[in-house]
């Protein structure tokens, strides 16, 4: 397939990457220049400005004569060329949600991060209260986003959309420049989400290895050029008593500011001391989200091929008081509440649980994939864990255990005539 055009810009630029990521996910071939450099503005030729009078990057030069600037417009155009890619959902209401998060990424994360960084880099006049205000707004948005992402893999629906690419690009831009380790510790769901998107198999090569900063850069006041003094005519020095040295005037407070709070002391979880495992739980969560559960090439096939039977274990969970359950939607909310209360140990576990049956005649059951050979260090993080029983499954040795496990993950589990009604995931 011939390239649809050329994308001008520096591959390390976040806005360039998001446009290219959309094209790559959509399966479009776009020409780029791997040797492109921003140095000295040599790229801004008369010929370039004739095509792109706004004079900034990235810019797209279509094979059909279309010239576009603004990375958002370019990305939207790429997505429109591949309607079957599901980057923009066909449903108008869902598509509106996607647009909402695209605009959020630009207005609330990209732009505000850029303003703060321009202050630190002396490209805008530095003002401490203004800087702190902008940083506070960014963190406020990230903390709200973190709550929204608590039980989500992608921001809209169960599949990656163009909104995820916009949002993850804005987030990684912030995490590699302004939002350091101590601030990222406050938004673990947001960090997990960004990592999931940029490591998606279809676009991982566009983002490459993303390295987040450990410490926020401190503001450095611009150095003033020293004026050369005219040589003075030397005069005989009279003996004078040495004047007492005065302490140096305190430098202006804004000259060296470190706004990042001290890193919180983290308590080490005993599960971290287990031998390193070849099974990456986050990889499994992505495979489960992106592939069909059953069938050739499905997530279960990937699971069995990659699972570390020594480093992880599989468990069945059952609610002890099924006779107290009434409406199925309320029972499903109960599962969601239990999974939410496992947030402290979420990185060590994957779960799929559901409600089987009908109103006033239902059960709650499901499966957990746990780090280590004991589920208790994980499930005890939830105060209500004693309302459930946990049974270790022998998926390799007992066909009935394997059937239960696969049914719980595929949401087609049947027990005593009760069929799967609804469920929740712990990812």
**Domain-embedded: residue 241:** no
Taking only the tens place, the pLDDT of each residue in 58-79 is 999 999 999 999 999 999 999 9
For residues 349 and 302, membership in a common domain is answered with yes
Q: Sheet harboring 67-69: ordered strands across?
A: 5-8, 59-62, 67-69
Residues 78 and 96 both lie in one domain = no
pLDDT of residue 227: 53
Cα–Cα distances in Å, from 287 out to 130, 278, 283? 43, 16, 6
Same domain, 14 and 111: no
Same-domain pairing of 63 and 155: no
CATH number at residue 180: 1.20.1050.10
Regarding whether 99 and 81 lie in a shared domain, the answer is no
Range of the domain at 44: 5-85
Pair (170, 98) in one structural domain: yes
Average confidence (pLDDT) over 314-337: 90
pLDDT surpasses 90 at 198: yes
Q: Which of 167, 190, 207 represents a domain boundary (last residue)?
A: 207
Cα separation, 361 vs 357, whole angstroms: 6
Tokens of 144: 């709200």
User: According to the model, what pLDDT value does residue 250 have?
Assistant: 35
pLDDT digits over 88-122, tens only? 999 999 999 999 999 999 999 999 999 999 988 88
pTM summary value: 0.54
Q: Are residues 318 and 376 in the same domain?
A: yes
Same domain, 65 and 124: no
Number of domains in the chain: 3
Domain limit, last residue, from 207, 225, 254 = 207
Q: What DSSP designation does 122 have?
A: T
CA separation for the pair 374, 333 (Å, rounded)? 26
Q: What is the pLDDT of residue 154?
A: 94
- Rounded-to-5 percentages of helix, strand, coil across the chain: 45, 15, 45
Domain boundary pick from 149, 176, 207: 207
Q: Which DSSP string do the residues of 248-305 spell out, in sequence order?
A: PPPPPGGGS---PPPPPPPPPPGGGGSPP-S--HHHHHHHHHHS-SSSTTSHHHHHHH
Angstrom distance (rounded) from CA 202 to CA 1: 18
Within-domain flag for 281: no
pLDDT higher than 60, residue 340: yes
* Residue 411: inside a domain: yes
Secondary element (H or E) of residue 23 = helix 14-25
Q: Is residue 162 part of a domain?
A: yes
Q: Please tell me whether residues 51 and 165 are part of one structural domain.
A: no
Q: Please list, in sequence order, all residues whose beta carbon lies within 8 angstroms of the beta carbon of residue 187, skipping any fewer than 6 positions away.
A: 142, 143, 145, 146
Read off the pLDDT of residues 360-408 as tens digits, 9 standing for 90 and up.
999 999 999 999 999 999 999 888 889 999 999 999 999 999 999 999 9
Listed in sequence order, the residues at least 6 apart from 198 whose beta carbon sits closer than 8 Å to its beta carbon are: 168, 172, 204, 207, 210
Could you tell me if 331 and 362 are in contact, meaning their C-beta atoms sit under 8 angstroms apart?
A: yes
Q: Could you tell me if 76 and 101 lie in one domain? A: no
C-beta pairs of 196-204 under 8 Å, 24+ apart in sequence: 196/153, 196/282, 196/285, 196/286, 197/154, 197/160, 197/164, 197/165, 197/167, 197/168, 198/168, 198/172, 199/286, 200/25, 200/160, 200/286, 200/290, 201/290, 202/24, 202/25, 203/21, 203/24, 203/25, 203/165
* Cβ 59 vs Cβ 9: under 8 Å: yes
Q: What is the CATH number of the domain that holds 418?
A: 3.30.70.1010
Place of tokens 């776009």: 30
Distance CA 420, CA 411 (A): 6
Residues 313 and 419 in one domain: yes
């Amino acid at each position: 397939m011939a390239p649809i055009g050329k994308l001008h810009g520096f591959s390390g630029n976040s806005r360039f990457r998001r446009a290219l990521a959309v094209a790559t996910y959509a399966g479009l071939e776009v020409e780029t220049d791997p040797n492109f450099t921003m140095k000295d503005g040599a790229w801004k030729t008369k010929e370039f400005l004739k095509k792109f009078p706004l004079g900034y990057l990235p810019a797209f030069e279509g094979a059909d004569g279309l010239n576009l600037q603004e990375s958002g417009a370019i990305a939207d155009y790429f997505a429109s060329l591949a309607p079957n890619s599901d980057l923009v959902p066909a449903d108008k209401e869902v598509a509106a949600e996607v647009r909402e998060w695209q605009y959020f990424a630009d207005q609330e994360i990209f732009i505000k991060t850029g303003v703060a960084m321009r202050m630190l880099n002396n490209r805008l006049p530095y003002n401490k209260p203004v800087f702190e205000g902008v940083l506070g707004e960014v963190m406020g948005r990230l903390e709200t986003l973190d709550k929204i992402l608590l039980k989500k893999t992608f921001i809209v629906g169960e599949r990656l959309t163009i909104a995820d690419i916009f949002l993850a690009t804005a987030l990684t831009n912030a995490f590699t420049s302004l939002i350091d380790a101590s601030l990222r510790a406050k938004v673990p769901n947001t960090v997990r989400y960004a990592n999931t998107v940029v490591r998606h198999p279809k676009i991982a090569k566009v983002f490459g290895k993303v390295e987040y900063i450990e410490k926020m850069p401190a503001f450095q006041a611009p150095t003033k050029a020293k004026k050369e003094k005219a040589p003075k005519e030397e005069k005989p020095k009279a003996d004078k008593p040495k004047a007492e040295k005065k302490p140096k005037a305190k430098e202006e407070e804004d000259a060296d500011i470190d706004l990042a709070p001290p890193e919180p002391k983290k308590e080490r979880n005993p599960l971290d001391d287990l031998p390193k495992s070849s099974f990456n739980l986050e990889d499994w969560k992505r495979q489960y989200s992106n592939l069909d559960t059953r069938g050739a090439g499905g997530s279960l096939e990937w699971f069995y091929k990659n699972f570390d039977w020594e480093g992880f274990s599989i468990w069945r969970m059952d609610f002890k008081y099924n006779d107290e359950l009434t409406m199925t939607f309320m029972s499903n909310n109960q599962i969601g509440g239990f999974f939410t209360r496992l947030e402290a140990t979420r990185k060590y576990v994957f779960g799929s649980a559901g409600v089987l049956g009908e109103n006033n005649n239902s059960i709650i059951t499901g499966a957990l994939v746990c780090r280590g050979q004991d589920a208790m260090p994980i499930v005890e993080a939830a105060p209500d864990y004693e309302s459930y029983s946990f049974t270790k499954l022998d998926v390799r040795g007992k066909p009935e255990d394997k059937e239960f496990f696969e049914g719980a993950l595929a949401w087609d589990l049947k027990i005593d005539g009760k069929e799967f009604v609804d469920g929740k995931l712990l990812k």
